[in-house]
């Protein structure tokens, strides 16, 4: 492809995407296909000869497009949102188009510096304490990781390194390998799978502590777990607090967990992958009360802040905790020397290579402005409240727990079996997509506002489909 073809093809792709979004309501959210649909029909080998771009786009429309689950459809209510916006796509296009790497400052100065700037902007928008920001006098700062999973693992590995250093300082003859086997991480039984996985990947025992009846991990429970483990000669090392659990969007009280961690010098990481985004609105900042106790904090900008995957914003209070843990030198990777505090981000993350991810964050922050982001969050929350009203008006259903953010959990009063059947029937019909979780041992359906296109009318469309399927399973509502 030469530059002339790139211009033509690029314009055609932009038109194709704009058409896709303009007509997204014409498609079922779930595809009607069996597993292997593409694998069975695709050629066994890559083409020997180049194909015309027109043919490639045609092939995309005919074979790839039918196999999509439409995450940006207003009838997509599963998991949590994956962010997307035209503004972000423009940033992604620029990032791919210029194709630079940013592992050291000199590898591409703008790549590092724009990340510092956007992470300071976003940190301030979320109301994070100054110590987390690169613009403060201290060693704190923000980095864009690929995912919340990576952020949790990076925090765990840094916590392990920090604890080892501290223990060896007190007892230089201690057996480092033996000490590492005694380290324990703690989180709640409501944590995302990625949190538990960080323990597996980082070789640290991870205890999933029992949450209270509101799905929160309480300070008392954590304190007791520390005491139990210390009595057995184990060493508490890392705690992951969940601000907005994946199941029911519960918030662990940082103001309770923080002092417990501080007392034992244990690293506190906050996984605020979804709900943390709401902190751009002053009225929701209470969910991170106590964040000043945290050592690291992560929010998936690629979930609820209109930036396309991957863009997970992680802040640390002391960047030297990461640098000490991950610094590996080579002659061809010269660190930056500067009066201005400029990070060499390769020491803050797992891979060496790094994309210019801040470009899409920058285009979104500039093209939406803080007000645009706030109104996006508030709009999703008010749409969720509209859904709550519709469900509560139908006597066959219960909404519980009390909804928060853009998530509403509900179930049929007639029992878990019927609720499960309802979800299975809805998935089979392919018009709305939701997933389940459990709350107080009951099976509940999670309904999340995900698409940036969703309107009140779309919520009513989704609800009517749910009510229609409920009518087939249980008596129609008398209301
Ligand atoms: N934490 C929470 C609370 C989540 O809901 C999710 C994903 O939905 C994750 C972490 C994992 O995010 P990622 O896919 O960015 O690793």
What is the reported pLDDT for 458? 98
What phi-psi label fits residue 449: left (phi over 0), alpha (psi between -120 and 50 degrees) or beta?
A: beta
Atom of ligand 1 nearest to the CA of 79: 8
Residue 182's nearest CA partner among 239, 240, 230 is 230
Query: Distance from the CA of 143 to the center of ligand 1, in angstroms?
Result: 17
120 Cβ closer than 6 Å to some ligand 1 atom: no
Would the CB of 192 count as within 6 Å of ligand 1?
A: yes
Q: How confident is the model at residue 477 (pLDDT cuts 50, 70, 90)?
A: low
Atom 5 in ligand 1: residue holding the nearest Cα: 246
**What integer pLDDT is reported at residue 340 of this predicted model?**
78
Q: Which class for 455: exposed (0-12), middle (13-18), buried (19 or more C-beta within 10 A)?
A: middle
Q: State yes or no: pLDDT of 316 exceeds 50.
A: yes
Whether residue 179 has pLDDT greater than 50: yes
Sheet holding 397-399, edge to edge: 397-399, 407-412, 442-448, 435-439
Q: 413 CA distance to ligand 1 centroid (A)?
A: 30
- Is the CB–ligand 1 distance for residue 190 below 6 Å? no
Residue 20 located in a structural domain: no
Q: What is the pLDDT of residue 479?
A: 47
**Tens digit of pLDDT for each residue in 25-55?**
999 999 999 999 999 999 999 999 999 999 9
- Residue 251 Cβ < 6 Å to ligand 1: no
In the reported structure, the alpha carbon of residue 193 is separated from the centroid of ligand 1 by a whole-number distance in angstroms of: 8
Q: Does 175 fall in a domain?
A: yes
Put the strands of the sheet holding 235-242 in their side by side order: 141-145, 312-316, 296-300, 267-271, 235-242, 183-188, 205-209
Mean pLDDT of all residues in the chain?
96
Task: Mention every residue, 6+ apart, whose C-beta is less than 8 A from residue 271.
Answer: 148, 151, 152, 191, 192, 195, 240, 241, 242, 243, 298
Distance from Cα 9 to the centre of ligand 1, integer Å: 34
448 lines ligand 1 (CB under 6 A): no
Ligand 1 centroid distance, CA of 194 (Å): 7
How many whole angstroms from 447 Cα to the centroid of ligand 1?
17
Residue 383 CA to ligand 1 centre (angstroms): 22
Using the mean position of ligand 1's atoms as its centre, give its distance from the Cα of residue 188 in Å.
Answer: 15
Q: Residue 279 in contact with residue 285, Cβ under 8 Å?
A: yes
How many domains does the chain contain in total?
1
Counting residues of the chain whose pLDDT is more than 70, the rounded percentage is 99
φ and ψ at 217, to 5 degrees? Answer: -85, 120
With b meaning 16 or more CB within 10 Å and e meaning fewer, what string describes 390-399? bbeebebbbb
Contacts for 178 with CB less than 8 Å, ≥ 6 apart: none
Residues 6+ apart with CB under 8 A from 77: 432, 433, 434, 446, 447, 448, 449, 450, 462
Q: Is the Cβ atom of 147 under 6 angstroms away from ligand 1?
A: yes
Residue 170 CA to ligand 1 centre (angstroms): 37
- CA 379/CA 344 separation, integer angstroms: 38
In a domain? residue 60 = no
What pLDDT score was predicted for residue 337?
Answer: 80
Task: Render pLDDT for 91-105 as a digit per residue (tens, 0 to 9).
Answer: 999 999 999 999 999
Residues 6 or more apart whose CB falls under 8 angstroms from that of 433 comprise 29, 30, 69, 75, 76, 77, 78, 427
Query: CATH number, domain at 344?
Result: 3.40.640.10
Strand 442-448 and strand 296-300: the pairing is unpaired
Q: Give me the domain span that covers residue 304.
A: 101-355
Is the CB of 273 inside a 6 Å radius of any atom of ligand 1? yes
In ligand 1, which atom is closest to the CA atom of 149?
A: 16
Residue 49 falls within a domain, yes or no?
no
In ligand 1, which atom is closest to the CA atom of 191? 3
Q: How far apart are CA 287 and CA 285, in angstroms?
A: 5
pLDDT band at 331 (very low <50, low <70, confident <90, very high): confident
CB distance 287 to 275 below 8 Å: yes
pLDDT the model gives residue 339? 77
Burial class (CB in 10 A: 0-12, 13-18, 19+), 323: middle
Ligand 1, atom 8, lies closest to the CA of 80
Residue 227 counted as domain residue:
yes
Q: How far is Cα 471 from Cα 396, in angstroms, rounded to an integer?
A: 10
How many CA atoms within 13 Å lie on the side-chain side of 178? 5
Report the separation in Å between the CA atom of 290 and the middle of ligand 1, taken as the mean of its atom positions.
Answer: 21
For position 332, what pLDDT does the model report?
A: 85
Q: Is residue 293 part of a domain?
A: yes
Asked whether residue 318 is assigned to any structural domain, the reply reads yes
Residue pair 306/88 in contact by the 8 Å Cβ criterion:
yes
Q: 419 CA distance to ligand 1 centroid (A)?
A: 25
For residue range 270-284, list pLDDT tens digits in order. Answer: 999 999 999 999 999
pLDDT category at 306 given cuts 50, 70, 90 is very high
pLDDT per residue as tens digits for the range 198-235: 999 999 999 999 999 999 999 999 999 999 999 999 99
What is the best residue among 149, 191, 287, 404 to mutate for testing ligand 1's pocket, by most ligand atoms within 8 Å of CB?
149
b/e sequence 182-204, b meaning 16+ C-beta within 10 Å: bbbbbbbebbbebbbebbeebeb
- Judge if the beta carbon of residue 363 lies within 6 A of ligand 1: no
300 CA closest ligand 1 atom index: 15
**pLDDT tens-place string over residues 374-418:** 999 999 999 999 999 999 999 999 999 999 999 999 999 989 999
pLDDT at 153 over 80: yes
22 or 336, higher pLDDT: 22
Does the beta carbon of 188 lie inside 6 Å of ligand 1? no
Q: 312-316 and 442-448: which strand pairing?
A: unpaired
- Domain assignment present for residue 474? The answer is no
| Per-residue pLDDT tens digits for 342-360 | 899 999 999 999 999 999 9
**300 ligand 1 Cβ < 6 A:** yes
């Amino acid at each position: 492809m030469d530059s002339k073809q790139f211009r033509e093809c690029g314009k055609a792709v932009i038109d194709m995407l704009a058409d896709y979004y303009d007509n997204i309501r014409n498609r079922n959210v779930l595809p009607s296909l069996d597993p292997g649909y593409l694998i069975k029909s695709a050629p066994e080998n890559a083409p020997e000869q180049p194909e015309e771009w027109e043919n490639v786009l045609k092939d995309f429309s005919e074979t790839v497009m039918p196999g999509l689950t439409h995450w940006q459809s207003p009838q997509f209510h599963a998991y949590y949102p994956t962010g997307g916006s035209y503004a972000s796509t423009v940033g992604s296009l620029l990032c791919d188009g210029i194709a630079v790497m940013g592992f050291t400052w000199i590898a591409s100065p703008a790549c590092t510096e724009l990340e510092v700037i956007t992470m300071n902007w976003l940190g301030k928008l979320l109301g994070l304490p100054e110590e987390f920001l690169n613009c403060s006098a201290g060693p704190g700062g923000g980095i864009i990781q690929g995912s919340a999973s990576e952020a949790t693992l990076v925090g765990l590995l840094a916590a392990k390194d920090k604890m080892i250093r501290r223990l060896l300082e007190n007892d230089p003859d201690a057996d480092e390998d033996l000490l590492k086997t005694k380290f324990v991480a703690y989180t709640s039984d409501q944590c995302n799978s990625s949190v538990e996985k960080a323990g597996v990947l980082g070789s640290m025992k991870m205890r999933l502590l029992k949450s209270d009846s509101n799905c929160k991990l309480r300070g008392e429970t954590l304190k007791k777990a520390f005491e139990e483990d210390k009595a057995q000669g184990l060493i508490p090392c890392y705690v992951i607090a969940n601000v907005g659990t994946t199941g029911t969007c519960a918030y662990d009280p940082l103001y309770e967990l923080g002092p417990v961690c501080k007392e034992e010098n244990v690293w506190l990481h906050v996984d605020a992958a979804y709900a943390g985004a709401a902190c751009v609105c002053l009225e929701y900042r209470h969910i991170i009360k106590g964040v000043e106790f945290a050592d690291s904090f992560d929010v998936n900008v690629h979930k609820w802040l209109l930036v396309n995957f991957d863009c997970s914003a992680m802040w640390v209070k002391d960047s030297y905790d990461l640098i000490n843990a991950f610094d590996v030198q080579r002659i061809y990777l010269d660190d930056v020397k500067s009066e201005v505090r400029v990070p060499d981000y390769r020491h803050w993350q797992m891979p060496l290579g790094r994309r210019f991810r801040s470009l899409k964050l920058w285009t979104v922050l500039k093209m939406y402005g803080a007000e645009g982001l706030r109104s996006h969050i508030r709009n999703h929350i008010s749409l969720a409240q509209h859904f709550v009203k519709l469900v509560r008006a139908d006597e066959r259903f219960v909404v519980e727990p009390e909804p928060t953010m853009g998530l509403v959990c509900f179930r049929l009063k007639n029992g878990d079996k019927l609720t499960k059947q309802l979800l299975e029937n809805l998935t089979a019909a392919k018009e709305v997509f939701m997933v389940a979780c459990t709350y107080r041992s009951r099976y509940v359906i999670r309904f999340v506002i995900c698409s940036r296109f969703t309107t009140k009318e779309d919520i009513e469309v989704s609800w009517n489909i749910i009510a229609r399927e409920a009518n087939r399973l249980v008596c129609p509502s008398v209301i």
